A and B are shown apart, each in its own frame.
Chain A
Amino acid sequence: MPITETRLVTKRLRDRPDDSWTADGAIASGAYEVLRKALAMTPEDIQDEQLKASGLRGRGGAGFPTATKWSFLAKDSFPRYLVVNADEGEPSTFKDHMLIERDPHQLIEGIAIASYAVKCNLAFIYIRGEFALGYDRLAAAVDDARSRGFLGPNILGSGFDLDIIVHRGAGAYICGEETALLESLEGQRGMPRIRPPFPAVAGLYAKPTVVNNVETLSALPHIIAMGGEEYGKLGVNKSTGTRIFSLSGLVNRPGNYEVELGVTFRQLIDDLGGGVRNGGKVKFLIPGGASSQWLTGSDEHLDCPLDMDAVGQFGVMLGSGAIMVYDDTVDPVLVAWRLARFFAHESCGKCTPCREGTGWIEKVLYRMSHGLGRPDDLDLLLDVGDNISPGLNAPFSQTTICPLGPSAVSAVVSLNKYFRDEILARVQPAAAEVSA
């Protein structure tokens, strides 16, 4: 039986396509009712009873348990800040884009609940600069929420104060990395910080800071509404709840699909995405955004459940929830080069292995994908990759400051793992010609 979507965070925007982003539309469909309920709880209740029981894990990419993250905040140190990472820049990821544009009040409600729970009175939304409509709608939503008493002093008579500052990024992928985001938010060049100290101890303006993803916070009202325990029953194993997957590539119906975690890649691609175009077969797919290693169209891979831990057996991650699907009309080397070009372009330049390594990988993959490959290139790429991400394992180990550098290596590892013979066969004749 085909699967269907399980809509929580996408419910309002699907149900009210014409006005889901407006205050009236959102309030008419229940926005801020949960906030009222949350403000009647204690912050400890929300953190310990609801969030912990829900098993919610971050939807930005790393999948770290949100309740644990909050618990790292330096005790009794104020002010502290909540920063919303709305700098969705992972290639082929477009879920936060939709949530911001089409349900900003759900996000604001989530921010308010989270801020109340972590006892912060000022939250920042760092929104990707390219989200023009999203910024307009979000900024308007914040103003509306403020004028209707959902933000500002003494929210809903609870005595809790909160304001939100919306800040636009300037087009750097690296600013989605939380410490680079904080640097950028402070007005510095966006480059990752050395950790420790971690943001929970010294983050924005050196104050304790929790950084959460848009989808994570958007899930919060639903956790409070249905109860953490109930939410925790959704999903599978330690991957609880629902997630939005951004399905793209050569499928018949690309788009955002919110499903209960635990469905399989095949179900997602076939039942919701309508299968591969032109009746083709999956040759390979990139789960988790551009940073993840790849999977193939094998049954073993396609039948793997979307479980953040189970996918690890194949060296991949669910990451930001993007899934790119390719059939056998696509040259994997060309895909790898295109991804490498992205990482070389977006490397912030701070640390040597990423700054130089991503550019090197890009140059070699360009040659390989344009008919100028050499027999040694693949092994060279693997060793260069090993100098960025020693061991070439997932999860990464890294010689770099942040995971951007190792992310650029994932494609190389996958090329070698699944297409080594194909690539070597392609370069051999060329090499023979050269030597002749």
Chain B
Amino acid sequence: MSAELVTLTIDGKEITAPKGVMLIQAAQDAGIFIPRFCWHERMKAVGMCRMCLVEIDGVRGLPPACTTPVADGMVVHLQKDNVQKAQDGVLEFLLINHPLDCPVCDRGGECPLQDQTLAFGPGESRFVEEKRHFVKPIEISPNVLLDRERCIQCARCTRFADEIAGDPLITFVDRGDRMEVNTFPEDPFISYFSGNVVQICPVGALTAKPYRFRARPWDLQTSETTCQGCSVGCRGAVQSSSNRLVRLLGVDLDPVNQGWLCDKGRFGFEYVHAPERIREPLVRVDADMVEQSWPLALEAASEGIRKAIDLHGPGAVAVIGGAHGSNEDAYVWARFAKGVLRTDNVDAQLGDGLPPEVVNGLPEAAISDCDTAAAIVLLAPDLKEELPVLYLRVRRAATDLGVPLIDLSSREHGLTKHATATLRTIPGQQAAAAEKLLAGITSGKSSDPQVRAAIDAMSGRDGEIVVILGRPSMAESQDHTVAAAAALAASPRTRFLSALRRSNVRGALDLGLSPGTLPGRVTLEAGRAWFDEAWGGTPETAGLDTAGILQAAKAGKIHALVLLGADPLADFPDRKLAREGLDAISFVVAVDAFANESNRRADVFLPVTLWGEKSGSTTNIEGRIQRLGRRVAPEGTAMDDWRIAVELAFRFGVDLDLETVDEVTDEIARLAPAHRGVTSRLLVAARDGVVVPVAEHRDALVFTNAVTASEFGWDPIRPGTVEDESFVGAQLTNVVEASGTGAAGVIPSGGQPSGEVPSSEEIEAFTAVDDSAAPAVPLPELMVWDRSVTSAPAPPPDGYALRLVAGRKLYDAGRVTMSSPALANLAPSDVLLVNPADRDRIGVADGGNVRVISARGATVLAVRGDEHTPAGTAFMLFDQPGEGAADVIDINQSVMDLRLESLS
């Protein structure tokens, strides 16, 4: 903000604030807490609760601080008798109809109404009449319950649903003291973001099913962490009670999630404690998997791999997966596979991603660049389904910040209605649309009305064009997406934000879990000399990606496979090839926490720790590295992935000499060229994480300052304010007498800013690495993509066929959804959607069965007409329970055309 500063005084204390900010914010930034309920930093002020009334010299009455902009010379009083009487009065009003059922309320102990009553309230009620009554609680969504008696009508939840989530499904009903929040009849609060309203509710009116009655806040232990539900990297605070995870709260990391979480992220932790989890190592004895000790299981795993290498060479070994682990897991597995086993047949993606040289070799955008971009171009899957909190950010940019949104997707999706221009293309033809768009933007002219709309909306907007780049459909070759990216990259204004989905896919690609690469965003060729010296060896030739591995396996060339938390039968787009490939491999090691279709054929099963049980770091879509919090002890004898790799390496005669996760982090900081300087020490200090390469993002570094005070869980929780075991339970002790001049002086210390910009010397000190044993060759150059394109556009389908678009839903057949009770029943049932006109042409009613025939195979599915699916295309869900898109996709086809035959 190019802020003009103004000076004002609050209770005699002089503060400065940017002109135009609201008084309540300015006061908070200066460490002065003005009590409030309805005001929330991330939403528009409504001035409803009246708790923040203040006196301002020269202003009549008592204006609310949340709707009063600061002005130069303003003199504000918080501690005058009339202000305190108003505070007393508002609190008394709020309590007269409040049930005061605190003993059985989830919020009890971390309740702003309790805390502010203590700090600012009258302490006694004069209300002797009958209180308002409602049936309590009512279920407003599958995971959220509403107790209307506790509600204080602050409109935080309704504003969130409307302004932030774009799901205006809850609203005020009735008037006066009978006013209640409710859903519309027959229309529940089905929102991917429903859990946020529970967190921001200032009382216990909204509670979340997975947490209800599970714990008292003062019993909770808290660790700050990073959500791993997808790759956005939302900051969170994970809480446990009696060694069980019970809750995840969003932490307000401005560059990333601004406090929000999606429900999959918020409630998905439950799978950690799922009964079906595998807790001990298993080894196959004939047809059965038998529990075995770790040493013997590791021995069995290494023996099988060694046999394959001895007989067929390192190229007979492959590793698929690794995108769900930490950076440390990815790095040590890359080192084990490439440096110890010397195979380059390693791929963290399952044919559903993008080439690493494209992800790592394009000019990068940050998530926050969406706020200020000249335009955002969507060349990605439905962000609402795959990267929900990124969806919130893009939605806000389009609706609130006036950023033009240009949609190149193949079908309508969550952001379509906010798009300024929509260039609807069928799979296989995005590159042509991208070229047309860029030509229009560059020349300022176009015959296409949509391109002209984009040009008009962008006129006068300087800055970058942010392309959100992912795979719009699983049913088209990545080459088409790459070609479109190449076309858009022709402009020097273009920056890319990758929209790959798996939690740490970016970290895995960065750290060498893909063929032809080595850790630190270098190619195998460029990094060979450096890592030969550092590791003692690297693969001789470039290896295969997952599709290549499965094809080679089918051809009898892969003899040992490690499934590193991967399930190709569910996630690989071509299920037939996945099955044939896996069936042909004689020795499979599963490194996983759950059995799945693919790893049921494993010979050795090595159980791993999950999120919440492990520390380390993770990398989000923009290359931001953040720490993971270890909150509970692992289930059973589960081991961190990276430690399993260390143990296996040891059995191949190589001592990686890595004892702790910090040692791994520091080895990455020494050896991975893009990650140089990202030491474990730096990651602890960096409040907002570290974007790599750190040298290019030094200005964005903020260090957590010494104040690690706790924060009200209902107000935006700032990163770096959460300290293990001292979080919410410490709230009351933080309500301290600040100046001893009465109630209004009480300041929860969470109002303090939690970060400071480090000096250049500090950065030097925190990024310093020990180069005494560094390889005696120059540091490898980072990979750059030459924008080479190999594919030609696919011709349109013939008149009888529908072109397949395959995409995911947030809730799918994945482990997090299926093993978390809160989410398990939320997976959708529709799997085949076509335009109503096409449905009618086929001659089938909604819900009728059709035979779906592709060049790959056939399956029978129920069809439904859907106006969001353009004519000439068919939309199939990917990775849902049962038959689906993977049964008809051929990974070797550039696009898939389907024929639908009515069976009714």
0 or 1 for each of B75-94: is its CB under 8 Å from A? (1 = yes): 00000001001101110111
Q: B residues within 8 Å of A by Cβ?
A: 45-51, 53, 60-62, 64, 67, 82, 85-86, 88-90, 92-94, 96-97, 126-127, 129-130, 132, 152-153, 171-172, 174-179
Given A194-B45, A380-B126, A398-B61: A387 in contact with B175 (beta carbons within 8 A): no
Are A355 and B177 interface neighbours, CB within 8 A?
A: yes
Of chain A, the residue at the smallest CB distance from B94 is A352
Known A351-B49, A360-B96; judge A399-B176 contact (CB<8 A): no
* CA A360 to CA B131, docked complex, whole Å: 10
Q: Scoring A residues 342 to 383 as 1 if CB is less than 8 Å from chain B, else 0, what string do you get?
A: 001111111111011111100110010000000000001000
**In the docked arrangement, what's the CA distance between A400 and B175, Å?**
15
Q: Which residues of B contact A359 (CB under 8 A)?
A: 97, 132, 176-177
Are B175 and A399 within 8 A (Cβ)? no
Which B residues are CB-close (under 8 A) to A349?
153, 172, 174-179
Which residues on B sit within 8 Å (CB–CB) of A172? 175
Tell me the smallest distance from the CB of A77 to a CB of chain B, in Å: 19
CA distance A39 to B134 in the complex (A): 58
Residues of A contacting B93 in the complex (Cβ-Cβ under 8 angstroms): 352-353, 355-357, 360, 387
Shortest CB distance B802–A (Å): 39
A-B contact pairs, 12 of them (CB 8 A): A194-B67, A348-B175, A348-B176, A349-B179, A350-B48, A352-B51, A353-B89, A355-B93, A359-B176, A380-B126, A387-B93, A399-B90
Nearest B residue to A398, CB-CB? B61
Knowing A194-B45, A194-B67, A390-B82 touch, does A345 contact B175 (C-beta < 8 A)?
yes
Q: In the complex, what residues of A have CB within 8 A of residue B86's CB?
A: 387, 390, 399
Question: Does B177 contact A399, Cβ atoms closer than 8 Å?
Answer: no
Across the interface, name the chain A residue whose C-beta is closest to B177.
Answer: A359
Residue of A nearest to B176 (CB): A347
A390-408 vs B, CB cutoff 8 Å, 1 = contact: the mask equals 1000000111110000000
Count of A residues near B, CB < 8 Å?
Answer: 34
Least Cβ distance of B59 to chain A in Å? 11
A189 CB within 8 Å of chain B: yes
Given A194-B67, A363-B129, A399-B90: A358 in contact with B177 (beta carbons within 8 A): yes
Contact between A390 and B172, CB atoms less than 8 A apart: no
Q: A320-350 toward B: CB 8 Å interface, digit per residue (1/0)?
A: 0000000000000000000000001111111
Specify which chain A residues have a CB less than 8 angstroms from the CB of B51 in the assembled complex: 352
Instruction: Enumerate chain A interface residues (CB-CB to B < 8 A).
Output: 172, 174, 189, 194, 344-353, 355-360, 363-364, 367, 380, 384, 386-388, 390, 397-401
Q: Which residues of A contact B88 (CB under 8 A)?
A: 387
Known contacts: A364-B129, A387-B90. The answer to whether A346 contacts B60 by CB under 8 A is no
Known contacts A194-B67, A399-B53, A356 near B48 by CB under 8 Å: no
Docked-complex contact B48 and A351, CB < 8 angstroms: yes
Would B50 and A352 count as touching, CB distance under 8 A? yes
B contact residues around A350 at 8 Å (CB): 46, 48, 153
Q: How far is the CA of A350 from the CA of B45 in the complex (A)?
A: 13
A189 touches B48 (CB 8 A): no
In the bound complex, residues from chain B placing their C-beta under 8 Å from that of A174 are 175
The complex places the Cα of A417 from the Cα of B47 at a distance, in Å, of 32
Whole-angstrom CA separation of A346 from B88 in the bound complex: 25
**Min CB gap B380→A, angstroms:** 33
Task: Report whether A360 and B129 are in contact in the complex, using a CB–CB cutoff of 8 Å.
Answer: yes
Chain A residues with CB under 8 Å of B175's CB are: 172, 174, 345-349
- Output the least CB separation between A190 and chain B (Å): 9
CB pair A352 B179 closer than 8 Å: no
The contact of B176 among A344, A387, A397, by CB within 8 Å, is A344
Q: Which residue of B lies closest to A391 (CB)?
A: B82
Candidates A351, A367, A397; contact of B47 at CB < 8 Å:
A351
Residues of chain B lying within 8 A (CB to CB) of residue A345: 175-176
Q: In this complex, what residue of B is CB-closest to A366? A: B129
The CA of A172 and the CA of B175, in the complex, are separated in Å by: 9
**Inside 8 A of B90's CB, which chain A residues have their CB?**
352-353, 387, 399
Residue of chain A at shortest CB distance from B92: A387
How far apart sit A358 and B90, CA to CA, in the bound complex (Å)?
13
Asked if residues B89 and A399 are in contact (CB atoms below 8 Å), the reply is yes
In the complex, the chain A residue whose C-beta lies closest to that of B90 is A352
B47 contact set on A, CB distance < 8 A: 194, 351, 401
Measured between beta carbons, the chain A residues less than 8 angstroms from B178 are 349
With A352-B90, A364-B129, A387-B92 as known contacts, state yes or no: A344 contacts B177, CB within 8 Å. Answer: yes
Q: 16 extra interchain contacts, Cβ-Cβ under 8 A, other than A346-B175, A364-B129? A: A344-B176, A349-B178, A350-B46, A352-B48, A352-B50, A352-B94, A352-B153, A355-B153, A355-B177, A359-B97, A359-B176, A380-B126, A387-B92, A388-B89, A399-B90, A401-B47
